[in-house]
Structure 1
Amino acid sequence: MAQFKIYGRRGALDPVRSRLSDVVHACAVDVLQLPPDKRFHRFFPMSAEDFPTPPGRTERYTIVEILMFEGRSVATKKALYARLYRDFSEQLGIDGHDLEITVLETPRHDWAIRGLPGDELTLSYRVDQ
């Protein structure tokens, strides 16, 4: 399980929302080995007042929070970061200085999905690679 929250300024985020979703999804499928039908993305376009740009960043400053079951290796998470940085730059024109990524891992028993605790779900993919 993985959910993606994407935060940015409305004027920069709205025009690329669909392409950004495709980039994030391709990274998740390839690196995290999520099934292609598992696309859980939420977008938070914000005003400049609600999303200040830190020094050294541009108006395209974007934050990606990834919530997922714990268990993936450090190598897998680093591969995900590298892929996101590469694809955001190459496909969206968002430079590495304008992208921050945070992974928040949760024990499976701390999620409830489809009426069951996460540790009682049968998944069609692995979360321990």
Structure 2
Amino acid sequence: MGQIKIYGLKEHLTPIRNKVSDTLHSCVVDAFKYPENKRAHRFFYLDPEDFFYPEGRSNQYTIIEISLFEGRTITSKKYLYQLIFDRFENELNISPNDIEITLTETPLYNWGIRGKPADELMLNYKVSV
């Protein structure tokens, strides 16, 4: 399971949100062998006066927070980061300097999904990749 939050300037993200979602989902599918039909993305649009970001970033500065079940290898996580940096630059023209990614992993028993704790669900994909 993965829940993804995308934060950025409203004026920048709104026009490209579908492409951002598609690009980001393709990265998760490829890096984590995640099912194509499992997409949970939320966009948080910020006005310039509500979004302070580090010096050296542009108005394309985007924060990506991914909550997921624990179990992915360090290698697969680093692969995910590289895919996001590469595809955002090549497909969305967003510099890697303007992307920040945070993964937050929790045990399956800390998720409640479809009426059960996630550790009691039969998943149709592997978490340990």
- TM norm structure 2: 0.98
Q: What is aligned with 2:70?
A: 70
SS at match of 1:49: helix
CA distance, structure 2, for counterparts of residue 51 and residue 69 of structure 1: 29
Q: What is aligned with 1:83?
A: 83
Unaligned runs of 5+ in 1: none
Tell me the number of residue pairs that the alignment of Structure 1 and Structure 2 aligns.
129
Q: What is aligned with 2:98?
A: 98
- Post-superposition offset of 1:50: 1.4
Provide the identity percentage: 48
Q: Which residue type is aligned with residue 90 of structure 2? A: E
CA distance, structure 2, for counterparts of residue 57 and residue 90 of structure 1: 18
- TM norm structure 1: 0.98
Matched, 1:2 2:2: yes
- Post-superposition offset of 1:30: 1.1
- Post-superposition offset of 1:53: 2.8
Q: For residues 1-129 of structure 1, what are the structure 2 equivalents within 5 Å?
A: 1-129=1-129
- Post-superposition offset of 1:54: 1.6
Aligned residues of 1:53 and 1:59 also touching (Cα < 8 A): no
- Runs of 4+ with deviation above 2 angstroms: none
- Post-superposition offset of 1:49: 1.6
Q: Which residue type is aligned with residue 5 of structure 2? A: K
